[in-house]
Amino acid sequence: MATPRSADPWLLRLGAGLARGVIDLLLPPRCLACENPVERQGLLCAECFPRHRFITAPMCARCGLPFAHPGEAGREGLCESCLIHPPVFGRARAVWRYDAASRDILLPLKHADRTELAPALARLMAAAGRELLAGADLLVPVPLHYRRLVARRYNQAALLARGIGRIARVPVVPDLLRRVRATPSLGELGAAERAAVLAGTIAVAPRHRARLAGRRVVLIDDVLTSGATANECARVLLGGGAAAVDVLAAARVPLSRPDAGLTRTRSTPM
């Protein structure tokens, strides 16, 4: 006799996800950030919209740092940080500045199982990264260490990558990169220390190595903070044969100091 599988958390989760999907279809669409009704799924309401600081031109041509005015751009439209310490990756773009407003959307996606936010975020990211995606061969999410993946059950960057891949019609390889070692929080570390701590923590999965040769990769993450993780991923991808690596994030910390972190890690192939 078959035993009921009501205790299987994965099935319960799947059931809850499906139920939420059905409810979403039946209920009027809600704002991405609050409970206010909106015209279409995935929009911000009139109250929330002004709180969200979208990144638009002018911005650094390389790392996407928003400028207050066009005069802030240095040589070739670059920010001071990119002129002094060019990042390992080619270009980076993001939808929003990372602040209280974008955190209110991104933290629930990361920690509270609000995976239904991913398709709407993917739409916004596909728009912000249009230039990058136009030339892309592959989308690769920033990997989570498997222990974190087990605890959280999903990688938010992989969810976003899948959504963007569908919209931009670019293949996604969710497990192309692997965290081979867990890393401590990088919060308090300087740029050089971050790079040192991250060196050797990320690797190309051997079975995907052949897919990488000569490909233009767009690395997908939820938040671009210091750029150290994106740099380490880019270093590994370029070392693995990728022709170019750009970065697309939902939000980025608007760094203003050149020593704040978007610096080149050691032995870069640039």
Q: How far apart are CA 261 and CA 195, in angstroms?
A: 9
CB of 231 to Zn ion, least distance (A): 13
Nearer to Zn ion, 31 or 159 (CB): 31
Nearer to Zn ion, 82 or 242 (CB): 82
**Interface residue list for Zn ion (CB under 5 A):** 31, 33-34, 36, 45, 48, 60, 62-63, 65, 79, 82
Nearer to Zn ion, 36 or 115 (CB): 36
Nearer to Zn ion, 91 or 235 (CB): 91
Hey, how many other C-beta atoms are within 10 angstroms of the C-beta on 3? 6
CB of 248 to Zn ion, least distance (A): 15
CB of 91 to Zn ion, least distance (A): 9
CB 254 within 8 A of CB 226: no
CB of 103 to Zn ion, least distance (A): 15
Burial of 42 (0-12, 13-18, 19+ CB in 10 A): middle
